[in-house]
Amino acid sequence: MLYSKELLIELVKINMEEGFANVINEGVDSGGGVGLESYIESKLPEAIMQVFLSAPDTLLPHVDASSLLIAKKHQDGSGEILLPKDMLRFSLLKMKGWNRAVTVLYEQNSAMAILQKNPYTRAGRAKPVVIIEKSHNGDKILRYYSLPPEVREHEIEDALYVKIPDLSAPIEIHELLLSSITYLTASIVFNILGDTERAAIMRSQVSIG
C-alpha cells in the first residue's frame, strides 16, 4: 500500500499519544520553535531505512533494474556492475548463462571474496558468487563470478534492488512493516526529546528493525 508522508506522520503521532496524556505539548516547541511534526518528518526516513534493511526481501518494494544496469565484462569471465546511487539494498542478480540467481552478497574482505581471486577456486555459472564493494570515489560496485571467458557479451537477466526512501512522493510499505516503522520513528523522537522511558516503550513494539 502507498503511504504519503503526511499520513505516516499522523500514524506516528497516534503511536506517541497511546497511553500518554498531553504528549504533544510536553517537551515540544521548546527548541527554537521546532514542533513535533518536524521531528517526526526528519526521522521518518531513518526509521524506514532501518526497517527496510532488516526486513525479509518478500516484504520490500523492489525496483526492476535488469534494464537499468550495465555489466562490464573482464577477460577472465568475471565482471562488474556499477550500482545506482539511490540504492539502499541489493536483493537479486542473475546473469544470462547462470544456472541460478544470487541473493546473498559477500563483503570485499570476506573469505568468499578472497577465493574469487584465484581462478582455481573462483565460482562459475553453476554456483555464482557476487561481491559488493566500494570504489575509490565511494560508488558501490558488484563484482560477479563468473561466466566462461569465451562468452562474448555479459547480459543481465534479472536484477532487483530497494531504493533509499524518498518521502517527496507516496512510498510503498508492506502492512507487516508499517507498525515497526511508526513505532521506531516514535522511539527516535522520544529520545530526541530526552524521554528515554517512553522511547524504550515505543522501541519494544518494533518487531523488525
What is the DSSP code string of 160-174? EEEEPP-TTS-EE--
In a domain, 209, yes or no: no
Q: What is the pLDDT of residue 147?
A: 97
Q: Do 196 and 119 share a domain, yes or no?
A: no
The total number of structural domains that make up the chain:
2
Q: Is residue 33 part of a domain?
A: yes
In this prediction, the residues of the chain whose per-residue pLDDT falls under 50 are 30-33
91 and 179 together in one domain:
no
Model pLDDT, residue 209? 84
In a domain, residue 168? The reply is no
Asked if residue 208 belongs to a domain, the reply is no
Residue 72 and residue 151 share a domain:
yes
- What's phi and psi for 200, nearest 5 deg? -65, -40
Confidence at residue 17, expressed as pLDDT on a 0 to 100 scale? 87
- The C-alpha cell of 28 is what? 515540544
Separation CA 65–CA 161 (nearest Å): 7
In sign, the C-alpha dihedral spanning 80, 86, 89, 95 is negative
pLDDT in the model for residue 129: 98
- 107 and 147 in a common domain: yes
Range of the domain at 116: 63-163
Residue 74 and residue 107 in one domain: yes
